A = this chain, B = another copy of it.
Amino acid sequence: MSDTLEFVTEAATIPLVQLSMQQAINRALAEILDADDRALVFGEDVGVLGGVFRVTDGLQQRFGANRVFDTPLAESGILGTAIGLAMAGFHPIPEVQFDGFAYPAVNQIITQLARMNYRSRGRLPMPVTLRVPSFGGIRAPEHHGESLESLFAHVPGLKVVSPANPQQAYHLLKHAASMPDPVIFMEPKARYWNKGEVNLADNEGSFLEGSVIARPGKHATLIAWGAMVSRCLQVAELAAEDGIELEVLDLRWLKPIDEAGLAASVSRTRRAIVVHEGPHTAGLGAEVAALVSQSCFDSLRAPVERVTGFDVPYPSGDLEDEYIPNIDRILFGVQRVLEYRRG
């Protein structure tokens, strides 16, 4: 199901606007609230303030305090309330203010949100889209730079997606909010302020599923999501100067993972490096590496490399750039797969 970005810009005479990811999400939320009167947006400081990142800016003024409201400061309460609202036929779009503050809600997410449809034999669907400003890179206090994708992806009953640019943020959020199942929407907060072209025209479903090739190449595939996609694109630029053509695959959906898209790319390039911010051990990179090692067993010319955060707590701002995969570390990973020779 893998698609190239060209696909987007190909189509002519469609409304293109420049938006930051924060603006794109804000716009998508407004359109969702406008189109679906069962949709509700709530969380800490999402109302009057418009969110600490202003992602919900203006929504309460426009849709009223019944549709967009502030809750008390309790994440488990936010998720548990969202579940009850879904049982009452609403389409909650709650926010937890930062990745690290999803942990207090983990019990409600895993034992309740992800299982209610199953427990009720499909009678109590959970059309809940949980927005989580995620990942690091903004020199914030502790617990403001976490990557929870492998925790969420392991939970049966959840779907997980992370946009890499404003175009995807806009369309994937609208798509997620239209789904009858719970979706964890991981917003790369470090990219909130980067502008990009957004094609407001609806894209057919296929565009919304699976992974996309952010940059085609033939010597190796860089697999990434969230904020790491743009970093991998930088790396590809640099490598190109040395004649190394790296393909950049934006995984987008962290559950379900686009196994076919991964296999298609890596069986062509025969080398893969997966890049993520989260800790190495049992990170989502392990799942990606395991899938690729299996599906491309015959074509792989080198072990799949994982360039990731270390198995350490997300550090303070000063050490952030040492923790998050930087261009050097990714290039070392590329070098390892390119120079690998069977012993």
Q: For the side of the interface on A, what is the size category? A: 35 or more
**Copies of this chain in its oligomeric complex:** 2
Contact A298 B103, CB 8 Å, known A114-B313, A154-B151, A312-B156: no
Residue A142 lies at the interface, judged by CB distance under 8 Å to chain B: yes
A143 proximity list for chain B (CB < 8 A): 111
Q: Are A104 and B103 in contact (CB under 8 A)?
A: no
Cross-interface CB contact of A283 among B142, B154, B311, B312, cutoff 8 Å: B154
A188 at interface by CB-CB < 8 Å = no
Q: Within residues 99 to 126 of chain A, which ones have a CB less than 8 A from any CB in chain B?
A: 100, 103-104, 106-107, 110-111, 114-115, 118-119
Chain B residues closer than 8 Å to A342, beta-carbon distance: 297-298
Q: List the B side residues contacting A151 at CB < 8 Å.
A: 151, 154
Contacts of A156 in B (CB 8 A): 279, 310-313
CB distance from A295 to the nearest CB of B (A): 8
Q: What is the CB-to-nearest-CB distance from A177 to chain B, in angstroms, rounded to a whole number?
A: 23
Q: Say yes or no for A237: interface residue by CB 8 A criterion.
A: no
Separation of A311 and B282 alpha carbons in the complex (Å): 16
1/0 contact trace for A272-315 toward B, CB 8 Å? 00000011011111110110011001101011101000111100
| Contact status A304-B290, CB under 8 Å | yes
Q: What residues of chain B lie closer than 8 Å to A100, measured between beta carbons?
A: 111
Interface on A for B, CB 8 Å cutoff?
100, 103-104, 106-107, 110-111, 114-115, 118-119, 142-143, 150-151, 153-157, 255, 257, 278-279, 281-287, 289-290, 293-294, 297-298, 300, 302-304, 306, 310-313, 340, 342-343
5 A-B interface contacts by CB (under 8 A): A106-B106, A115-B142, A118-B312, A119-B313, A156-B310
